[in-house]
Structure 1
Amino acid sequence: MRTVRSWFRDTTGGLPRTFWYLWTGTLINRLGSFVLVFLAIYLTQERGFSPTQAGLVLGLWGVGGAVGTTVGGTLTDRWGRRPTLLTAHLGAATMMLALGFARPLWAVATGALLLGMFAEAARPAFGAMMIDVVPEKDRLRAFSLNYWAINLGFACAAVLAGFAAQAGYLLLFMVDAATTVVTALIIFTRVKETRRASAAPARPGAVAPAGALRTIATDRVFLGFVVLNLFGALVFLQHISMLPIAMGDSGLSAATYGSVIALNGVLIVVGQLFVPRLIRGRSRSHVLALASLVMGVGFGLTAFADAAWFYGLTVLIWTLGEMLNSPSNATLIAELSPDRLRGRYQGVFSLSWQIAGAVAPILGGLVRERAGNTELWLGCAAIGALMAVAHLVSGPARERRAAKLRPATQPVTPVTAIRQPAPQAAEAAATAPAEPVAAHTPS
C-alpha cells in the first residue's frame, strides 16, 4: 500500500492548481466528444453520403482546423491564452449544434469547416498555457496525466455514443456542445491569464515578436519534426475516417465500432500513468522510433482483420505505440519552442495535425477505393517503418537544439503575479510556476 501511495504521490503531486483546472476541463470536454468519433458513420449510414463525400467533409474539418491553429497560435501570443480559449470553445459549441441540424451536403461541409476552425483554435492556447504553468521538470508527468484524462473521457464517450446514436444522432451533437460550454465555464471562472511578461509585447499595440514567421520558417530542426509528425498523423487519423468504414464493410455495427475503439482509451487509462517512469532517462529518439514502428504494425494488421476481436487486437497494438509517442512528443515540442514564440510554435505544430486531418480521410478514401483496403493498411505500416528510421537519424540534432534553448525557457514571473499585492502574489507564485498537449487523440 505504501508503494502505491508513493507512486501516486510521485505521479500527481506538486503540480500547480491551474493545471488541475485545465485537466478537469479536458476530462469533461472529452466525456462529450461524440461527434468526431462517429462522424464518418453518421455521414455514410445515417445521411447516405459516399465514402468519398464523407472523406471530403472530414477533410474540410481539417482545413478549418489548419486555419484555426494558425490564427489561434497568433492570438495566443498577442491577445492572450484565456480569451483565445474562451472564444474558441464558445464558437465550437455553436457550430456543433449548427452541424447537427445541417442537411444538404454543402451545409454539412460548411459546418464542418467552421467547427474545425473554432475547435482547433483552442489547441495552441491550451498547449502554451500548460507550458506556462508547469515547470520543465514536471512536464513529462503533467502531459501524461492530461493525456490520461483525454483518453479516459474518450473511452467513455466512444461507448456511450455508440448507444446514444441509436436514440438519434442529434443527441450526439447536443451533448458534445454542452460539454464544450462547461469547459469554457471552467476556464472563465477558474483560470487566469498565464501569458508571461517575456512573451508579451514591449508596448501597447506592438507586434510581438517581430519576425516570428521568418524565425519558424528557418527553423529546420523544428520543421523537420513537424513533418515527421504530419506523416504519423496521416496514419493515426485513419482510425477516425477509414477504420469505421472498414468495420462496416465487415458487417459490424456502429456500437461495435464504439466498443472496439474504446479499447484505445481503456488501455491508455490503465497504462499511461506508468509510461513516464518507463521511458524516463531513455533516448527520446529511440522511444519515438519504437512508437512509430509499433503504430505501423498495428495499423498494418488491420488489412487482415475481419472480426471484432481482430480489429480490437489491432487497436491495442497501435495504442501501445501511441502511449509511447505522446509524452515524448509533448516534452520535445515544449523544449523546441522559444519562450516568446510559444503560441506560434504550438500553432505550427498543431497545423501538422490539421493538415493531416484534411488530407488523411480524402487520401485514405481514394487509396481504399482505387487500390483496395489491404493496400491502404499495408501502406500505413510502411510509413511507420520509414518514420522510425527518420527519428533515429534526426534525433541528435533535435536534442542539441533543445539543449541550446533550455536556458532560455526557465521559469519567469507571470504577468498576473506582477500586478497582485504581496500576499496574493506569493500564493500565485506557488500555484503558477515557472506544453502542448500532444495531439493526441485529436478531437
Structure 2
Amino acid sequence: MFSSFRGLPPVVWTVFAGTVVNRLGYLVTPFLVFFLATRGVTGTHVSYVLGALGAGNLLGPAVGGVLADRIGRRPTMLAGLVAASVGQGALFVAPGVATMAAAALLISAAGSMVSPAAYALLADAVDAEHRRRAYALFQWGVNIGTAVAGVLGGFLAARGYWLLFAVDAGSMLVFAAVVAFRLREHRPPTAFGAEGDGGAGGAKRKDGIGYGVVLRDRLGLALLPLFGVQLFVYSLTEVALPLAIHDSGLSPTVYGAMAALNAVMVVVLQPVVTARLARLPQLPVQCAGGVLIAVGVAMTGLANTVTGYAISVVVWSVGEVVVAGIAASVIANLAPAHARGRYQGAFGWTWGTARFGALTLGVGLYSGLGPGVLWWTALLAGIACSVATLAFHGRVARRMDHVLAA
C-alpha cells in the first residue's frame, strides 16, 4: 500500500505520521453542539460559538502563510499546535458564551495556521515533480486520522466530554513534539521580503510582508477561485448531506454510515489511485475528479433511501480520491520559493471561505429556495468550474516547465 509513495524523503513521512496522530484527536468539533448543550448553551448562542469557529478558519491560514515565510515553517507549526491545544483547555473551562466563542476562535485560527506551514515545508523538501504524491500522502494521513477519530469520538463522548478535549489537546502536543524534535527547517535560499518575480513573470520587485506577491500572480488568482468553487461543492457533503438524510426520514446513524463509507473508500483507494494517476497531467485529472464530485453531490438530490445515498457517496468519494493533493501541488509549483507559505496561506483561506460558504450560502439555498436548487447549483457550478480550470492547463504546464528548468 505504501509503495505508491515510495521514494519520498523522510520529512514527508514524518509530517504524515504527525498528521495521523493530530487528526486522531479531531474529536471536539463534531460533538461541539452536544457539549454546548450540556453547558446550557442552546439556540442562537450556539451560532455565536460555531460562527467564531468558522471565522477562525478564515483568519488562521492568512496569518499562518505570512508567518511561515517570516519566521519559518517549524516555528509556525509549533505556535499553531500549542496555541490550539491551549484553546481546547480554554473552551472546556470557559464560563460563558463569550469566552467559549473566544476559545473556539483560538482553536480554529491556531489550528488552521499549521497547514500552510506544513504544505510549504513539504514543498521545500520535495521537487516539483513529486509534490503531488507528497500532498496526497499528507491528505491520506488526514483521512486516516479522521476516520479513526469518528469512531473514537463516539466512544469517548459516552464516557465524558472531558476525554474529547484531553485527547484533542494531547494529540496536538504530540504533533508539536514531532515537529520540534523530528523535523528540520528546509528554508529556501531566498529570504523573506527579498527580490523575486512573485511567480507572475514580471519585473523584479520587493515582496513586503503581506500577500502582494500572490495578488500580482494573475494565473494564481485565476485558479484559486476555481479551486474554491470545487471545495464549496465538496463541502456540501458535510453540510447539506445530513439535512437531506434527515428530510428523507432516515436516522442520524445513516449519516454516520455514509461518513464511514466515505472514510473507508478514501483510506483504501487513495494509494492505488495516486499511483495510477501520478504520471498524468495534474489539471486534467483535477477537472475529471471535480466533475465526479459535482455529479456525486448532485445525486444526493435523487436519493431517498440508504442505497441511493450510498451510491452518491461512492461517486463523490472517488472524485475526492482523484483530486487529492493536486490543487495544493499546483499552487506550490506556481509559488516562488520564498513565498510558498503565503501561496499556501491563500489556498488555505480559499478552503476556509468555501466551507464557510457551504455553511451559509449552501444551507440558505437548501432552506430558502429548496433542495433542488442547491443540487442543481452544485452540479452546474462544479462542471463549469472544471471546464474553466482545464482552460488554464497550457499556462500551468508552461509555468511548470519554467520551474523545472530553473
1:55 and 1:241 in contact (8 A); partners too = no
The one-letter amino acid paired with 2:352 is Q
For residue 274 of structure 1, report the CA deviation from its aligned partner: 1.6
For residue 261 of structure 1, report the CA deviation from its aligned partner: 0.7
Structure 2 unaligned residues grouped into runs of 5+:
195-204
Give the match for residue 17 of structure 1: 10
For residue 93 of structure 1, report the CA deviation from its aligned partner: 1.3
- From 21, 29, 51, the counterpart of 1:28: 21
2:193 and 2:209 in contact (8 A); partners too = no
- Secondary structure of the equivalent of 1:282? coil
How many angstroms apart in 1 are the aligned matches of 2:122 and 2:348?
Answer: 15
- From 51, 64, 81, the counterpart of 2:73: 81
The one-letter amino acid paired with 1:15 is L
Structure 2 length-normalised TM: 0.87
Q: Deviations over 1:32-75 (max 9, x none)?
A: 2123344467668997755x876665443232122211111111
Give the match for residue 343 of structure 1: 341
Give the match for residue 90 of structure 1: 82
- Residues 360-375 of structure 1 mapped to structure 2, 5 A cutoff: 360-375=358-373
- Secondary structure of the equivalent of 2:112? helix
1:56 and 1:361 in contact (8 A); partners too = no
How many angstroms apart in 2 are the aligned matches of 1:340 and 1:55?
Answer: 39
Q: Deviations over 1:199-248 (max 9, x none)?
A: 4567xxxx984376333212111011110111112122222333334434
Which range moves more in the overlay, 280-289 or 259-268?
Answer: 280-289
Give the match for residue 390 of structure 1: 388
- In the alignment, does 2:189 pair up with 1:191? no
How many angstroms apart in 2 are the aligned matches of 1:55 and 1:360?
Answer: 15
How many angstroms apart in 1 are the aligned matches of 2:369 and 2:132?
Answer: 41
How many angstroms apart in 1 are the aligned matches of 2:375 and 2:34?
Answer: 19
1:200 and 1:208 in contact (8 A); partners too = no
Give the match for residue 197 of structure 2: none
The one-letter amino acid paired with 2:228 is L
1:73 and 1:124 in contact (8 A); partners too = yes
The one-letter amino acid paired with 2:373 is E
Give the match for residue 269 of structure 1: 267
- From 123, 128, 144, the counterpart of 1:131: 123
1:303 and 1:375 in contact (8 A); partners too = no
- From 203, 214, 217, the counterpart of 2:212: 214
- Distance 1:170-1:307 versus aligned 2 partners, 3 A rule: farther
1:96 and 1:115 in contact (8 A); partners too = yes
- From 287, 290, 293, the counterpart of 2:291: 293
1:58 and 1:357 in contact (8 A); partners too = no
- Distance 1:323-1:103 versus aligned 2 partners, 3 A rule: farther
Which structure exhibits the higher relative contact order, with contacts defined as CA atoms closer than 8 Å and separated by 6 or more residues? 1
Structure 1 length-normalised TM: 0.80
Q: Percent identity?
A: 34
How many angstroms apart in 1 are the aligned matches of 2:121 and 2:68?
Answer: 9
For residue 150 of structure 1, report the CA deviation from its aligned partner: 1.5
Structure 1 unaligned residues grouped into runs of 5+:
1-6, 409-443
The one-letter amino acid paired with 1:365 is V
The one-letter amino acid paired with 2:85 is A
For residue 405 of structure 1, report the CA deviation from its aligned partner: 3.3
- Distance 1:273-1:54 versus aligned 2 partners, 3 A rule: farther
How many angstroms apart in 2 are the aligned matches of 1:242 and 1:184?
Answer: 34
How many angstroms apart in 1 are the aligned matches of 2:167 and 2:306?
Answer: 27
2:74 and 2:183 in contact (8 A); partners too = yes
The one-letter amino acid paired with 2:346 is V
- Residues 7-156 of structure 1 mapped to structure 2, 5 A cutoff: 8-9=2-3, 11-39=4-32, 49=42, 57-102=49-94, 105-156=97-148
For residue 356 of structure 1, report the CA deviation from its aligned partner: 1.8
- In the alignment, does 2:155 pair up with 1:157? no
2:84 and 2:111 in contact (8 A); partners too = yes
Give the match for residue 233 of structure 2: 235
1:209 and 1:340 in contact (8 A); partners too = no
RMSD over aligned CA atoms reads: 2.8
- Distance 1:48-1:167 versus aligned 2 partners, 3 A rule: same
1:26 and 1:146 in contact (8 A); partners too = yes
The one-letter amino acid paired with 2:120 is A
Give the match for residue 407 of structure 1: 405
How many angstroms apart in 2 are the aligned matches of 1:162 and 1:256?
Answer: 15
1:148 and 1:269 in contact (8 A); partners too = yes
How many angstroms apart in 1 are the aligned matches of 2:280 and 2:35?
Answer: 43
Give the match for residue 377 of structure 2: 379
How many angstroms apart in 2 are the aligned matches of 1:390 and 1:199?
Answer: 35
- Distance 1:212-1:97 versus aligned 2 partners, 3 A rule: closer
Give the match for residue 351 of structure 2: 353
- Distance 1:108-1:237 versus aligned 2 partners, 3 A rule: farther
How many angstroms apart in 2 are the aligned matches of 1:25 and 1:268?
Answer: 19
How many angstroms apart in 1 are the aligned matches of 2:226 and 2:93?
Answer: 37
- Secondary structure of the equivalent of 1:192? coil
Aligned length: 396
For residue 289 of structure 1, report the CA deviation from its aligned partner: 1.6
- Distance 1:225-1:85 versus aligned 2 partners, 3 A rule: same
- Secondary structure of the equivalent of 1:197? coil
